[in-house]
Amino acid sequence: MAELKEKIVKLADPMQSSIDQSTQEMIRRAQQLGVETVFDRAVTMKPCAIGMQGICCKNCSMGPCRLPLPKDGIQGEDTRKGLCGATANTICARNFIRMIAGGAAAHSDHGRNVAITFLAAAKGEVNDYKVKDPVKLFQIAPYYGVATTVEVDGVVKDRDIREVAIAVGEVAVAEWGKTTGHLHMIKRAPQPLQDKWAEQGVIPRNVDREIVEIMHRTHMGVDQDYKNLIKQGTRACLADGWGGSMIGTDLQDVMFGTPTPLQAECDLGVMKEDHVNLIVHGHEPLLSEMIVAAAQSQELIDYAKTKGAKGIQLSGICCTANEVLQRHGVPPAGTFLQQELAIITGACDAMVVDVQCIMQNLANVAKCFHTKLITTHPIARMEQPNVLHIEFDEHHAMEDAIRIVKIAIDNFEKRGAEVMIPRHKSSQVAGFGVESIKYHLGGSFRGDYFTLNDNIINGRIRGIAGVVGCNNARTKHNEEHITIMKELIKNDVIVLTTGCSAIAAGMHGLCTPESAAVHCGPGLREVCETVGIPPVLHLGSCVDNSRILLAATEVVKAGGLGNDICDLPAAGSAPEWMSEKAISIGHYFVTSGVYTVFGYHLPLEGAPVFKDYLYKDMEKMYGGMWDCEPDPVKHAWKMINHIDKKRKELGIDKARDRVLMDMADRQALGME
């Protein structure tokens, strides 16, 4: 540790690094122990100014070609070009859609693994996975082109669950590589949006093809028109949001259960000194679902007691945390930027990682403590020798999970004296989704989005915001998420949240019904108090942003707020984004009609023409557009102003009654 301490020239200021007390305490603790974290590295290593502007190309070995903006800006013609002649717009667009490809690939490969396991489970080829939610299976089957009923001797009856599951699984798996047609899930969007996509020629053909085509088009000397490049970016991101991610969410719900609201704790303080602490981190719930079951088994709890622990405390980081939170109430220990800190507590007996958002430095941190760091995915290994690799296989999923939990238990006895768990934790209600919003805002009898729409039309709820995404060590941890959410709910905008943003909201008490009385404007407060929901609704993990797309579609269907997602008084936000997945999500929100504001920065400043295309021209094509605002209050107000603009366009800037849509109206919109 002393060696590490010497290497650190400058250290992060804990108070400037995060708004969370637990995080501040643990950064301080890390520095006392001489353990380097991402917060310190962010102080010593500055980002590249050219890369930040999106105008560095390294797509061939004649480069990297860097095209900085002239000091006095572009006067007249923009003459900047790379060795091959690539313009700033071409380079910036190529870089941008390569980010979309990276993000769409990550989400969609997750979805693919889920689909493959689902099909194997349906066929009975694996024993540890089952259809847990047949109602959801039958509800989604028609979108996959699978019939749910069969006529036998003139009598119509439900098809066998196994038969439907196999058919859905086969269609789902084929979505990644089918050679004809388009993605099935696209048909879940409002018809006017589907028409826009058809007009622009961006309806995705299959998931893999759209991602591969980005890599081809951005290879040296292929597509050199920024408009044509971003068109392919649009196909790929739609293949993510309305494809790979949506299928992932659907089939996870069918296999593991559709989330319903439940109460849980949140923050590093959920770890317990006298328990075995096992943390699951990453994104795919295939293994973590099994770990939850194993950690709750009496046999392993008893085994933990034989080692001197009082029990097993399972918790999560990042989106694996959100997956096990929304279905089992397993508490998140923290967001992306807290992953190293969880180990620095000295009380983490094992951290199990799968894919995405896992810092390689975890291995260096784990080396300073007794923590067993376990990689589990064949595509995500670490080179450091102290990392244990237990390759997860769905054919012996529970066996793998039991082995991992036992490793954590056996490691409990090896803890050092350096244990310091921050005491901070909060309560939250998580596990919302399309179905539960319907239930909570419509009631079990009415069960629809009418009540939500009524409250938007009568102005109690000013609009809907999706606030999602990561943490970024270049911004103050969680400050943007929390400031933006508070500003929105103070102004009667209800917030739907996913990913690390959702964990941040939970940590800051915004996901409790009681927070409405403290933080909301009078209208939203009244609605939340009447129906007993929080003003910030936790909708799950990064792939679950597809739930937000479907919730927006339900709002359109319920009527009175226009015909398409772009008509809704709604806006999107990713205040502290860092991942390529955020760019894919941002672009599928924009091209689904949502005005979407990112915080920190977007790598577009070096190509003003391409930037304008995304910030202005997109709206004419899809109804949504990009924007960026690092200041959180201004960021929130850009969203609120857009919501107000939409309210005015809908004629609901002054309260009026909702115009009820009848069956004929809804059929005209292609919604039945």
From the list 241, 244, 499, 606, which residue makes contact with ligand MSK (rule: CB under 6 A)?
499
From the list 34, 63, 257, 608, which residue makes contact with ligand SF4 (rule: CB under 6 A)?
63
Percentages (nearest 5) of helix, strand, coil residues in the chain: 50, 10, 35
Q: Measured from the CB of residue 73, what is the shortest distance to ligand MSK in angstroms?
A: 33
Per rule CB under 6 A, is residue 469 in the interface with ligand MSK?
A: yes
- Report the site for ligand SF4 in 198-227 (rule: CB under 6 A): 220
Q: Which does 303 bind (CB under 5 to 8 A by kind): ligand MSK, ligand SF4, none?
A: none
Residues 6+ apart with CB under 8 A from 8: 34, 36, 40, 44
- Report the site for ligand MSK in 276-305 (rule: CB under 6 A): 283
Per rule CB under 6 A, is residue 516 in the interface with ligand MSK?
A: no
Q: Measured from the CB of residue 329, what is the shortest distance to ligand MSK in angstroms?
A: 19
Residues 6+ apart with CB under 8 A from 319: 282, 283, 356, 357, 499, 500, 540, 541, 542, 543
Q: Which is nearer to ligand MSK, 27 or 358 (CB)?
A: 358
Looking only at the bridges linking them, the beta strands covering 536-538 and 493-497 are: parallel
Name the helix (H) or strand (E) containing 392. none
What would the two tokens of residue 24 be? 């501040």
Q: Which does 280 bind (CB under 5 to 8 A by kind): ligand MSK, ligand SF4, none?
A: none
Per rule CB under 6 A, is residue 533 in the interface with ligand MSK?
A: no
Burial class of residue 151 (count of CB atoms within 10 Å of its CB; 0-12, 13-18, 19+): exposed
Per rule CB under 6 A, is residue 309 in the interface with ligand MSK?
A: no
Instruction: Write out 192-241 in H/E/C secondary structure.
Output: HHHHHHHHHCCCCCCHHHHHHHHHHHCCCCCCCCHHHHHHHHHHHHHHHH
- Report the site for ligand SF4 in 323-352 (rule: CB under 6 A): none
Beta-bridged to residue 466, according to DSSP, are: 496, 572
Q: Measured from the CB of residue 125, what is the shortest distance to ligand MSK in angstroms?
A: 29
Interface characters, 88-107, with ligand SF4 (x: CB under 6 A): ---x----------------
Q: Measured from the CB of residue 46, what is the shortest distance to ligand SF4 in angstroms?
A: 23
Q: Measured from the CB of residue 215, what is the shortest distance to ligand SF4 in angstroms?
A: 14
Q: Which is nearer to ligand MSK, 171 or 473 (CB)?
A: 473
Q: Which is nearer to ligand MSK, 527 or 582 (CB)?
A: 582
CA 137 from chain center: how many Å? 23
Beta-bridged to residue 351, according to DSSP, are: 279, 373
**Residue length of the chain:** 672
Q: Measured from the CB of residue 201, what is the shortest distance to ligand SF4 in angstroms?
A: 26
Give the separation between CA 140 and CA 130, rounded to whole angstroms. Answer: 17
Interface characters, 485-514, with ligand SF4 (x: CB under 6 A): ------------------------------
Beta-bridged to residue 429, according to DSSP, are: 263
What would the two tokens of residue 456 be? 């938007």
Between the two ends of the chain, the Cα-to-Cα distance in Å is: 63
C-alpha distance from residue 602 to each of 52, 449, 487, 599 (Å): 7, 34, 22, 8
Q: Measured from the CB of residue 316, what is the shortest distance to ligand MSK in angstroms?
A: 10
What would the two tokens of residue 41 be? 């590295």
Structure-token match 């979407």, residue found: 596
From the list 217, 581, 635, 638, which residue makes contact with ligand MSK (rule: CB under 6 A)?
581
Beta-bridged to residue 263, according to DSSP, are: 429
Per rule CB under 6 A, is residue 86 in the interface with ligand SF4?
A: yes
Q: Which is nearer to ligand MSK, 39 or 336 (CB)?
A: 336
Q: Where are the beta strands (DSSP E) in 337-422?
A: 350-353, 372-375, 387-389
From the list 5, 28, 58, 490, which residue makes contact with ligand SF4 (rule: CB under 6 A)?
58
Residues 6+ apart with CB under 8 A from 272: 310, 311, 313, 347, 421
Q: Measured from the CB of residue 337, what is the shortest distance to ligand MSK in angstroms?
A: 8
Interface characters, 334-373, with ligand MSK (x: CB under 6 A): --x-------------------xx----------------
Q: Which does 500 bind (CB under 5 to 8 A by kind): ligand SF4, ligand MSK, none?
A: ligand MSK
From the list 202, 318, 347, 505, which residue makes contact with ligand MSK (rule: CB under 6 A)?
318
Per rule CB under 6 A, is residue 542 in the interface with ligand MSK?
A: yes
From the list 500, 510, 550, 625, which residue makes contact with ligand MSK (rule: CB under 6 A)?
500
- Report how many residues bind ligand MSK under the rule CB under 6 A: 14
Q: Which is nearer to ligand MSK, 402 or 549 (CB)?
A: 549
User: Considering only CA atoms, which of 280, 249, 268, 293 is closest in space to residue 354?
Assistant: 280
Give the separation between CA 99 and CA 236, rounded to whole angstroms. Answer: 11
Q: Measured from the CB of residue 498, what is the shortest distance to ligand MSK in angstroms?
A: 7
Q: Which is nearer to ligand SF4, 86 or 510 (CB)?
A: 86
Binding site for ligand SF4 (CB under 6 A): 57-60, 62-65, 82-84, 86, 91, 220
Binding site for ligand MSK (CB under 6 A): 283, 318-319, 336, 356-357, 469-470, 499-500, 541-542, 579, 581
